[in-house]
């Protein structure tokens, strides 16, 4: 990519009337539009001579001569309309947008250059492309830019080599999303509350009641229902616990640092205790958990057990109907350690359950499973969902 700032970009034109400007080569100490921005770029310009002026947006075309269209004139000596220029020569130069952000459109694989701090990169391609970053140490302190996915398909932002963005190797943007990307230390991050989709569309047409897994990758969990609203609390799609021996929530975004697993009237056909397990790209990890869970049956009766294969929730009886929340919080991103705490109550009897523990994963968390200790008891009532933030 070339430098997008409009510094010293100035040419002249002898175009008369209200049509597209033909551009004359600039003076030796100035820059031309095509070299600076590239053909097809949409820029903000000012045209002026001794009799009038015009400010608007136009599209640059590499031709003989190069041209600048007058797509949208919003301020001029002709009452905000395109000026009907008389014969003569006028200056045309690039200017900053009112908010100080220059725009560059791209539709194929690109690399962000070191001198592109502060730009808005608008992706207009059809997906499957990558926006690459050079080594983070080579960018100046405070370097940031903005990406707007205004095309279709997926756009991947890929740091250099093993460097990370938001704690992962890449991030994937879907159509309509827009985010800031900034350098901090030796890694890249996306701006808090800036990666937002253009809209949230409807509810799933196929439904997820009874499904065994829900894919929440890339901001969409099914049928164009977006759940990836960058750093804002986000619900996945509820799963009914009326059948099956486990329920998985998959492809949890790398920026998530807190997950609430919500149980509504969950029960099974056996007495094996409920279990919440964590996993990464290598799959669910069934060992290495530290902690305990217990149930208060009456004022004087309790049952408590340690769990090493997951975070346990004591149920003690067939048809136990469980309500409550297990909260998972990232404690250390460097070794992928998560801490769990939860409290629950049964609606079929007077009993409460509590649990707590910790687990260090092999890599960044991207999935959660709800099952039972023996792995064979089947769900027969209720629903489960996760809330990510």
Is residue 218, in this structure, part of any structural domain at all? no
Q: How confident is the prediction for the chain on average, in pLDDT?
A: 83
Q: Say how many domains are in the chain.
A: 3
- Could you tell me the CATH number of the domain that includes residue 384? 2.60.120
Is residue 67, in this structure, part of any structural domain at all? yes
φ, ψ for residue 217, nearest 5 deg: -70, 150
Q: Which residues contact 13 (CB under 8 A, 6 or more apart)?
A: 21, 22, 23, 24, 47, 68, 89, 90, 92
- Both 79 and 127 in one domain: the answer is no
Tokens of 273: 């205790």
Please report the pLDDT score of residue 29 as a whole number.
Answer: 85
- Both 268 and 354 in one domain: the answer is yes
Is residue 231, in this structure, part of any structural domain at all? no
> For residue 183, with 0-12 CB atoms within 10 Å meaning exposed, 13-18 middle and 19 or more buried, which class applies?
buried
Displacement of CA 24 from its chain's centroid (Å): 43
Q: Is the distance from CB of 297 to CB of 304 less than 8 angstroms? A: no
- Could you tell me the CATH number of the domain that includes residue 138? 2.60.120.640
89-125 pLDDT, tens digit each: 999 998 865 555 667 788 999 998 876 777 888 898 9
315-346 pLDDT, tens digit each: 877 889 999 999 999 999 889 999 999 999 99
Distance of alpha carbon 340 from alpha carbon 196, whole angstroms: 28
Displacement of CA 264 from its chain's centroid (Å): 29
Q: Of 73, 94, 115, which one is at a domain's C-terminal end?
A: 94
Of 256 and 368, the structure prediction assigns the larger pLDDT to 368
Radius of gyration for the alpha carbons in the chain, expressed in angstroms and rounded: 28
Q: Which of 76-85, 94-103, 319-328, 357-366 has the lowest mean pLDDT?
A: 94-103
Q: Is the distance from CB of 193 to CB of 231 less than 8 angstroms? A: yes
- Both 254 and 333 in one domain: the answer is yes
Is residue 212, in this structure, part of any structural domain at all? no
Is residue 200, in this structure, part of any structural domain at all? no
Of 194 and 219, the structure prediction assigns the larger pLDDT to 194
Q: Which residues contact 206 (CB under 8 A, 6 or more apart)?
A: 222, 223
- Both 163 and 303 in one domain: the answer is no
Is residue 297, in this structure, part of any structural domain at all? yes
pLDDT band (50, 70, 90) for residue 306: very high
Please report the pLDDT score of residue 97 as a whole number.
Answer: 57
Please report the pLDDT score of residue 289 as a whole number.
Answer: 97
Please report the pLDDT score of residue 360 as a whole number.
Answer: 96
Distance of alpha carbon 103 from alpha carbon 85, whole angstroms: 27
Please report the pLDDT score of residue 298 as a whole number.
Answer: 66
pLDDT band (50, 70, 90) for residue 4: low
Integer angstrom CA distances of residue 76 from 11, 85, 196, 248: 19, 12, 35, 59
Full-prediction pTM beyond 0.75? no
- Both 249 and 319 in one domain: the answer is yes
- Both 72 and 114 in one domain: the answer is no
- Both 252 and 328 in one domain: the answer is yes
Taking alpha carbons only, the member of 182, 229, 224, 230 closest to residue 204 is: 224
- Both 54 and 161 in one domain: the answer is no
- Both 60 and 144 in one domain: the answer is no
Domain hosting 66: range is 10-94
Q: Of 29, 60, 94, which one is at a domain's C-terminal end?
A: 94
- Both 35 and 143 in one domain: the answer is no
Is residue 221, in this structure, part of any structural domain at all? no
- Both 80 and 126 in one domain: the answer is no
Distance of alpha carbon 131 from alpha carbon 234, whole angstroms: 26
- Both 256 and 174 in one domain: the answer is no
Distance of alpha carbon 305 from alpha carbon 348, whole angstroms: 22
Q: Of 70, 94, 118, which one is at a domain's C-terminal end?
A: 94
Is residue 202, in this structure, part of any structural domain at all? no
Please report the pLDDT score of residue 263 as a whole number.
Answer: 96
Triad 122, 126, 130: Cα angle to 5°: 65
Task: Establish whether the linkage from the previous residue to 65 is cis, with ω within 30° of 0.
Answer: yes
204-229 pLDDT, tens digit each: 333 333 333 333 333 333 333 333 33
């Amino acid at each position: 990519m070339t430098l997008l700032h409009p510094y010293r970009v100035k040419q002249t034109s002898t175009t008369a009337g209200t049509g597209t400007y033909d551009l004359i080569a600039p003076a030796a100490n100035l820059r031309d539009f095509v070299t600076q921005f590239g053909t097809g770029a949409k820029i903000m310009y000012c045209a002026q001579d001794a009799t009038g002026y015009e400010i608007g947006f136009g599209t640059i075309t590499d031709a003989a001569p190069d041209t600048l269209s007058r797509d949208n004139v919003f301020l001029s000596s002709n009452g905000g309309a395109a000026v009907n220029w008389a014969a003569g020569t006028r200056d045309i130069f690039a200017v900053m947008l009112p908010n100080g952000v220059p725009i560059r459109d791209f539709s194929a694989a690109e690399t962000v250059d070191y001198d592109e701090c502060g730009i808005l990169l608008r992706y207009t391609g059809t997906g499957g492309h990558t926006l690459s970053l050079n080594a983070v140490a080579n960018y100046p302190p405070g370097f940031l830019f903005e990406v707007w996915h205004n095309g279709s398909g997926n756009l991947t932002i890929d740091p250099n080599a093993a460097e990370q963005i938001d704690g992962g190797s890449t991030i994937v943007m879907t159509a309509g999303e827009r985010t800031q990307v900034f350098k901090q230390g030796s890694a890249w991050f996306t701006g808090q509350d800036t990666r937002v989709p253009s809209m949230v569309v409807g509810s799933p047409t196929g439904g997820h009641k009874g499904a065994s897994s829900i894919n929440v990758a890339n901001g969409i969990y099914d049928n164009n229902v977006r759940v990836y609203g960058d750093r804002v609390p986000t619900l996945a799609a509820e799963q009914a616990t009326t059948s099956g021996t486990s329920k998985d929530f998959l492809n949890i975004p790398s920026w998530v640092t807190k997950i609430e697993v919500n149980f509504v009237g969950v029960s099974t056909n056996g007495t094996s205790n409920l279990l919440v397990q964590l996993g990464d790209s290598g799959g669910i990890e069934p060992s290495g958990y530290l902690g305990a869970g217990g149930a208060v049956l009456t004022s004087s009766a309790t049952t408590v057990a340690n769990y090493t294969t997951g975070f346990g929730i004591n149920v003690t009886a067939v048809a136990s109907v469980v309500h409550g929340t297990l909260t998972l919080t990232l404690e250390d991103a460097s070794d992928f350690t998560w801490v769990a705490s939860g409290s629950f109550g049964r609606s079929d009897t007077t009993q409460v359950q509590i649990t707590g523990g910790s687990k260090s994963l092999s890599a960044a968390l991207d999935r959660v499973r709800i099952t039972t200790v023996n792995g064979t008891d089947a769900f027969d009532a209720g629903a489960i969902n996760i809330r990510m933030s």
